[in-house]
Every structure is written in structure tokens, then in C-alpha cells.
Amino acid sequence: MNTYDQGLMWFRRDLRTQDNAALYHALKTCRRVWCVFVFDTDILDPLLTRGLRADRRVEFIRESLVELDEQLRALGRAHGAQGVGLIVRHGQAQQVVPALARQLHVQAVFANHDDEPHAHARDAQVRGDLAHAGVMFHGHKDHVIFERREVLTQMGQPYGVFTPYKNAWLRQLDDFQLQAYPVQRYAVALAPVPPALAAPVPTLADMGFETTNLSQLPLPTGSRGATQLLEDFVERIDRYHEARDFPAIKGPSYLSVHLRFGTISVRQLARVAYPLHLQGVQGASTWLSELVWRDFYHQILANFPHVVHKAFKPEYDAIKFEHGKHAEALFAAWCEGRTGYPLVDAAMAQINQTGYMHNRLRMVVASFLVKDLGLHWRRGEQYFAEHLIDFDLAANNGGWQWASSSGCDAQPYFRIFNPVSQSEKFDPQGKFIKRYLPQLADLPESCVHAPWQARELELAAAGVELGKTYPRPIVDHAEARERTLLRYAVVKKPGATPK
């Protein structure tokens, strides 16, 4: 016996049919189910206002929706139903979803949780409008393994330090948490889209956006793309702990954008990593820790929402960062990859050209912005939010607060990355640098990390003219470090000794 006659599945950051919690519950409890995705103008219009018409994230979503529509159609056909598919709308989600629920005469709407503040406000509005019409709203956990207040201290409080959180996370993990939702078993409930609502997935141009270089990047879209990347990564997961910090080699899984938009289930990834972790495969253990970090930052956002606007540690809001014309010039140089520090500039070229940045380099450029240039971490956080194809508020905020020492379990304020030593350690031959800074391609390895220290003959032989073909450093790292220690003195704890 079904709980409801008719239901609506609202896809958001879960663009797949396989192992989808809300879709499973909708199909299991409703006799007939329709599926919708809304290109939310409350999210998209601000992008257009800021001139971000060519946004790789919007294109990634659009291409993944085409595949999602195909998946739904295939599930329908497998159960003898023609005309099943995805209803795609372009408008304010908080208005579109209740209106569609009324039009389809559903008794319930199903969606997976989203703990971003905007999403909370949107869902509260939708829930209220649906309740007014006598329609239930059901939310389900899907985006993480453990969410919100599922992993707590012995005092019943959310964790603010990672290692004890990870230990508790691992203690609580069991087969139930990793179990896949058997969507296909109940797919007979998928209903054909009414002719009045049937339409192809809108094009980018339909919504005011432009195509990007996404199709030229080694980043396949949709669930098929995620599966392809996962299969490739499994072949080298045992070396992940050794390779992940070196941007010139194939170390990461490159699945972050697929996790962000839910084109693959985090449970599926954990089901791959956890058994290998138990077998002592170090690479798998390290990768599993990265999945735990992801859960950690999401529960920080859920339990400490002030981090969206303030430092996790309130005392760090007292720090005075650089401002004025000089600060603006420094920020522009950082954004455009003109700092004179090759690893920093190559990393910024990578994000600007591809929408992706290697994780080690995210830490390096963040440290450089805050602790070498003396600029507020919020500026870098916003830049990443606009340019990263895998932008996720929880992880982005957590990462920037970590780098600026203002967040939970953060880097100590006196631990300041040296961009040259980071370059020498993690890009020793300068391969990554030369890939993104071709003007330095002919410099010998000994000079590529700090061109300003090279001899004139070496620069001339490589066709490098400092100040013209490549900038001189905009700050001196040693001097910047001293300024940072003074700047952070307002939060120095008694007994803390800079090292």
C-alpha cells in the first residue's frame, strides 16, 4: 500500500538516479512520481549580474541534466512506461516547485537535504507554501555519510576538531550507512510527463548563458563521467597518499565536481574506500579521510552557520587586513597570476583556464593571499566561489578559514607557507609551472621556482625578462611573514611561540 497517490521528486545537488535517497523514498511511497529540476534564478541571476555568463558550473549541470533525463526515460521504459523524463524549469525555485505540485495534484514533494543558508531559507518557504496547500515536504540525507548532528561528542555537542570527529565517524560507520538505495526496484512508479509540461532541457542560451571550454577539458559530465573517473582512480588509489600533493602528476580522483552536484553517490565512493582502508591500503585510508573532511565541513556549516559571514573563531574578526588602492592592486595581481611567484601564478592560471585547482595549490594560494599579501580571506573565498567548478560552500569556507587560521582545527597563525619551498617540494621539476606559465618553459629547473634569483645569463637564455615577460615578486616573503605575525598578534594566545 502506497502512502501517497502522487508525488514529486525535486532534484537539486543529486543529479543521478542510482543510489538517490529522496528518489528512492518518493518511488517507494507514491503510486506515481514525477521528477523536476529548477534552474533557480535566485542563484543564476546574480551570476549574470556579475558578468559570469560563461560559467562552467551551469554548463556542467545542464549537460548532466541531459543524461539524468535519459536515465529516467530508460528506467521508465524498463518498466513499460513511455514518456517518463525530467521536467526542467527556469525560474524561482521557491515559486516553481509549489506551483508545479499544485498543477500535478501531488500529495508530497521529496528532496535531499541542503544545509547552505540560502537553501534552508528556500526550503522553508517551499515547505510553508506546500503545507498551506496540504502537501507534505520530505527531506532526506543523501549528500554526506553523516550529517548535521549525527556525529557528536560525549557531551552531545558537534565537533570543532577534525581528528576526534574522524575517529567518532569511523566508529559509527556500518554497512547500513554505506548501503545503496535500490531505486530501480521501485521505478515502476515513474509517471509519464504530461504533454503540457514536456520540453527538452533548456539550452545555455535560453537562460542567458554562454558555452565555455568545458567540453575541451578532461572532465566528463553526468553519472557516466563520474563512473569513468572512479574506475580510473580505483586503479591508482593505492598510491593516492604519495601522489595527491604533486600537481604535475595524476594523483587526485578528480571527482570533487561530481560529489558537488551529486552525479555520483558519496556512499558509492565510501564503499570503495572503506574495505581497502580496513585492509591497510594507505592510499585508500588517506582518500577516505578526505571524504570524512567533507562530512566534517558540512556539519560545521550546519551547526555553526555563522561561519558564512564571520570567522569560526570570533577573535580572528579583529584582525586588520590591508585595504585601499595598494590592496586592490595586490588582489588583482593574485587573481590574474601576476604575483611573481611561479607556483602561485601557475595555480591561478589553472583555475582561470579550467575552473579547477589542485588541492595542494588551493592551500598555497590561500596562504599567499592572506599571509603574504595581507588581504582578507573573504576575498579569496569569493573568488573561488565564482571560479571553481566544484565550488561547495561548506568545503570552500572551511578551506579558507583553515588557511587563514580563523577556522576550526585550522593551520596555526604562525604556520605560513613559503611559496618557493612549496614549489621546490611539490613541483620539483617545474612541470606544472611550465605547463601553465609557458613564458618560463625554457628556464632550468633550478631557476623556475624563483626566477628573480636566477643569473642574467640564465634568464636571457630562456627568453625571460623580469618585469616584462614575467613579473618580479610583488612582495618579499620574509618581510611579509613578519608583517603577518604582527597582524595576527591580536589573537596570539599566551604561551604560543611562533616557529
Same domain, 69 and 148: no
Quote the pLDDT of residue 150: 98
Mean residue pLDDT of the chain comes to 96
Do the Cβ atoms of 374 and 322 come closer than 8 Å? yes
Task: Report pTM.
Answer: 0.95
Give the model's pLDDT for residue 496: 46
Asked if residue 480 and residue 346 are part of one domain, the reply reads yes
Q: What is the pLDDT of residue 499?
A: 41
**Beta bridge pairs of residue 11:** 37
Q: Give Cβ neighbours of residue 209 (< 8 Å, ≥ 6 apart).
A: 44, 48, 53, 54, 55, 58, 59
Average pLDDT over residues 273-294: 98
- pLDDT tens-digit profile of 205-227? 999 999 999 999 999 999 999 99
Rounded to whole angstroms, the Cα distance separating 290 from 233 reads 14
Indicate the residue among 281, 303, 325 that finishes a domain: 303
Please give the Cα distance from 460 to 451 (Å, whole number). 11
Whether 280 is covered by a domain: the verdict is yes
Look at residue 494 and tell me whether its pLDDT is greater than 80: no
Domain span at 339: 314-491
63, pLDDT greater than 60: yes
Judged against a pLDDT cut of 70, whether residue 302 lies above it is answered with: yes
Q: What is the pLDDT of residue 368?
A: 98
In this structure, the answer to whether residues 291 and 362 fall within a common structural domain is no
Does residue 157 share a domain with residue 44? no
Residues 97 and 22 in one domain: yes
Residues 461-467, mean pLDDT to the nearest whole number: 97
299 and 365 fall within a common domain = no
Give me the CATH number covering residue 230. 1.25.40.80
Give the pLDDT mean for 395-421. 91
d(CA 307, CA 155): 22
pLDDT, one tens digit per residue, over 304-352 is 999 999 999 999 999 999 999 999 999 999 999 999 999 999 999 999 9
- The whole-number average pLDDT for the span 24-42 is 98
| Cα Rg, the chain, nearest whole Å | 24
pLDDT of residue 493: 59
**pLDDT at residue 411, rounded to an integer:** 75
- Total count of domains within the chain: 3
Q: What is the mean pLDDT of residues 63-84?
A: 97
pLDDT at 410: 72
Cell matching residue 346? 601557475
What is the per-residue pLDDT across 251-269, written as a single tens digit (0 to 9) for each?
999 999 999 999 999 999 9
pLDDT at 409 over 80: no
pLDDT of residue 241: 98
Asked whether residue 285 falls in the same domain as residue 392, the answer is no
Same domain, 254 and 320: no
> How far apart, in whole angstroms, are the C-alpha atoms of residue 422 and residue 344?
10
d(CA 489, CA 414) in angstroms, rounded, equals 10
Please tell me whether residues 356 and 296 are part of one structural domain.
no
Same domain, 340 and 466: yes
* Domain final residue pick, 303, 322, 341: 303
